[in-house]
Chain A
């Protein structure tokens, strides 16, 4: 029997009008996931299928499609078409569905837009290391190679700012609507010699579970269960927890031996990244720990930060962010107000160049390096040490005003 293909979650990001949905739809159609209708040849078929789907509003069908899987020769993919509105950013940062790679869609007739910049920053914040760039809607610029090259340069400059290496990333000229370079080389782009989209997908590296990193289990909730005792519940973000391990919860600093671990109501000897578990620790009472605390091994305890330095991007703020501003940070399961202590640098989001040292204020669209102080003890890790624990969304006035990642910190002890 053939070996099972490895599975990958593929996020589609980019400006909402740059053709993400069309690309996803066409990909599913060409992979046979969307059944081909009895119709005449050509691209009208695609339009018909899309229109029909939208007309019918058959919930089951559209929702199944949103979770559909398709195969390339090497992998099995699940597509996540990311929402366009900023109010979903909080969910993308603290949510569980981790993308293994992202496809950035940029329309050739529109170029790099503010949302393109935001999504690139978010992809990096979310720890997505692999990118494919789809330069889309090339039919609208008459498949002009010059246009493609210019945009390739613009996007290269942009992704470099957050640490992606453009020389290792495929830029594919496409028209998702026409179907160019999705599964086979298009006659419309004879000047393009690189891989088509599905070939590029097969060049991605399979994801590895972060089992080598220190154990981190952010506590989602704490229960007192008859006959068992105190049961914290949470998702293992990194590392491995085994029965008998000595663990400590930070910030409270209490700990003990793991007596039992359960998932799906079954006893586990060990839990690994992605597992949603309940566990019981000898000597830890219900009032000792709470949501937002983080469990780790006693010899590699979670880091409580006295202060931290972060790279942030301001997504939407009605006024200006200045020193002293203290909004709520959503980081793993913790929600802690943090004060802006210093605005160190303001960067050009498109080039990463420092535009201003010690700016007086930050406003919507700015990228910056800032120093922050939590108003109460809080666990956060450097993004380079444990990426899963280093990202956060900043919320104020029921909006996600900014998103960011911790690049350095001063431990509290």
Chain B
């Protein structure tokens, strides 16, 4: 089946959100069949900081759907975008 590493960018609701709290929520939002690799901060503009979440999922039905759904539901997150996907060797 193979595995895919996806980089998902999370935009915050505002520049004032607690980024560490958001990161904790990200950690708790990863479904069982996916694996969190790391979370990086990406400064955007005017105080806004995005989170780049790298997760590993199977190269299989559903893709990143469940992960995307869970991350979208985090209160501090405005919207998400899968910015990169690639298979692992």
Contacts and interface: CB of A to CB of B under 8 A. Distances in A.
A361 interface: no
A215 B5 CA distance: 31
A66 B48 contact: no
**Residue of B37, B43, B45 with most chain A CB atoms under a 10 A cut-off:** B45
Interface residues of B, number: 36
B43 A265 contact: yes
B9 to A, nearest CB: 8
B14 interface: yes
A291 B11 CA distance: 12
Contacts of B6: 91
Nearest to A97: B84
A169 to B, nearest CB: 23
Interface residues of A, number: 50
A315 B87 CA distance: 20
Interface in B68-89: 78-79, 81-89
A221 B61 CA distance: 29
Interface stretch (A79-87, A185-193, A201-209): A79-87
B12 to A, nearest CB: 9
Contacts of B83: 95-97
Q: Which 3 pairs across A and B sit closest by C-beta, in order of nearness?
A: A278-B45, A87-B63, A262-B45
Interface of A: 16, 20-21, 24-25, 28, 50, 53, 59, 62-63, 65-67, 79-85, 87-88, 90-92, 94-97, 220-221, 223, 225, 228, 231, 233, 261-265, 276-280, 291, 333, 398
Interface of B: 2, 4-6, 11, 14-15, 35, 37, 42-48, 54, 56, 59-65, 78-79, 81-89
